[in-house]
Structure 1
């Protein structure tokens, strides 16, 4: 039997942002071992090339390519789109994985609790992270710029190539922190959840209001998420809403978002409970959903779940 027929993924082209380490790298590795042609992107060229070489070394049959990408730079996204068009002529799967924490953390703190980590449960680890993280206005702005606007920028640059696929898919790597239960205002929860009426323009107006309130120390007063990682929670909630808006706008595509779970990565200062391999399972599973599968959905580790 022809290999392309026996393996439905052998001719698919997938692109992963932030693919040089962590969940992104492991996602690239998993997809490549399933026979997809994978474009690994990273802001740092040297680290990206090292990541590609590591995958090729572990799997000689892996078809992995590298292209530099800064998700916050329109010209970088345009160059990437040109590369995909010239090299492959289309794109089948886009996984928006690149992200930042939105807080300032001292990596040296990890060493101080290293011996205690294994004895902590998930809630204790999250609380430790909250207590040892500092939110600043500049970090909050960068969080929005990368986690929401960066994903949107890359998506818009690559949409024409995804539309050339017979089964274009967009997978946005979100977080349980992006669920609307973290918002303290019922009005804000309803507005983020009202996909029949929410527009990209209004969504970005809300992000602007959040940053204004952050700067004025009015997050609690106006019902935004509090208790740590406020910007991260709002950015991921916005990414979830954007996912749903896109799915409605492009009904022939499969456009979903997910949480990889609480993974041991640099972003979590390795305080997570899941290994990188475990953290990559959900992104890969959602990326490889059937071509007639769910769209506009959020997936946790148990399957399709509520945005609230």
Structure 2
């Protein structure tokens, strides 16, 4: 394992996270070992089986909202691999997991606005920040390096795009939490110049975060493309960018912060 590129994908057993694990495992079968972050090892085992049980994927129990779970996961990575080369901060929520939403609304019935904002920010920003901080020593130990960190954001978090007239999606708790996540990405790109840190919009995909119907255009597989391009980039690849998948390989379309 010392010669393998060790990758952690949070929320890796479903949606875009699952498709990211699948693509990385297939594209880098002999060089990368993928840790599928999952809150439930039972669900992780089922997801692994659905992938065909590739030998370069291991489920890792990780609930990013739990400090104890983060500590245990970091200790496991340290004891087993001694480093972390790539972190994909994918786990997130738009609030639908709080229950009670209608097919037309993201607002959970029976919850106060404070409860909704607190929950979504806790997952998308606070917990992502705590996890990244806890894994920093392992990312610093990336070998041969540089460590790569990808924050799965959204164009909805782009303040520049919004004020320029982007359509309004009535989910401000989610949109603003992604703007906060973007700051985390920019922060780490500055304070960790030895790393490659980027924010990515996966596009509009049919996942548990939304009410979007599944089609070829909204298949979550599409959401894995840009993050995997960044993982595959050479050591001199980009950092401090905010992008979504573009027509040409590896460059992507730039999103205004």
What is the TM-score when the length of structure 2 is the normalising length?
A: 0.84
Q: Name the CA shift for 1:78/1:105 in 2 (closer, same or farther; >3 Å).
A: closer
Question: For the aligned residues, what is the CA RMSD?
Answer: 2.3
2:150 pairs with 1:157: no
Structure 1 unpaired stretches of 5+:
5-9, 110-130, 187-224
1:242 to 184, 201, 204: 184
Deviation, structure 1 residue 299? 1.2
Equivalences for 1:167-178 in 2 at 5 Å? 167-178=146-157
2:34 pairs with 1:38: yes
2:46 pairs with 1:50: yes
Q: Name the CA shift for 1:292/1:89 in 2 (closer, same or farther; >3 Å).
A: same
> SS of 1:277's equivalent?
helix
2:38 pairs with 1:94: no
Q: Name the CA shift for 1:274/1:227 in 2 (closer, same or farther; >3 Å).
A: closer
2:249 pairs with 1:305: no
> SS of 1:66's equivalent?
strand
Q: What is the rounded CA distance, in whole Å, between the counterparts of 2:231 and 2:206 in structure 1?
A: 21
Deviation, structure 1 residue 107? 7.0
Q: What is the rounded CA distance, in whole Å, between the counterparts of 1:76 and 1:42 in structure 2?
A: 11
Deviations 1:221-268 (A, max 9, x none): xxxx97511011111001111111111001011011101100111212
* Count of residues in correspondence between the two structures: 237
Max Rg structure: 1
Q: Name the CA shift for 1:266/1:183 in 2 (closer, same or farther; >3 Å).
A: same
Deviations 1:87-120 (A, max 9, x none): 11101000000000135665774xxxxxxxxxxx
Q: What is the rounded CA distance, in whole Å, between the counterparts of 2:95 and 2:161 in structure 1?
A: 16
1:15 to 8, 14, 23: 8
Q: What is the rounded CA distance, in whole Å, between the counterparts of 1:93 and 1:86 in structure 2?
A: 17
2:95–2:209 contact (8 Å) kept in structure 1: no
What is the TM-score when the length of structure 1 is the normalising length?
A: 0.71
Deviation, structure 1 residue 178? 0.6
Deviations 1:9-36 (A, max 9, x none): x721100000111110110011111221
Q: Which has the higher helix share?
A: 1
Q: Name the CA shift for 1:229/1:108 in 2 (closer, same or farther; >3 Å).
A: closer
Greater mean alpha carbon deviation, residues 169-178 or residues 66-75: 66-75
Deviation, structure 1 residue 146? 0.2
Structure 2 unpaired stretches of 5+:
247-251
Q: What is the rounded CA distance, in whole Å, between the counterparts of 2:77 and 2:63 in structure 1?
A: 16
1:132 to 87, 91, 105: 105
Q: Name the CA shift for 1:227/1:280 in 2 (closer, same or farther; >3 Å).
A: closer
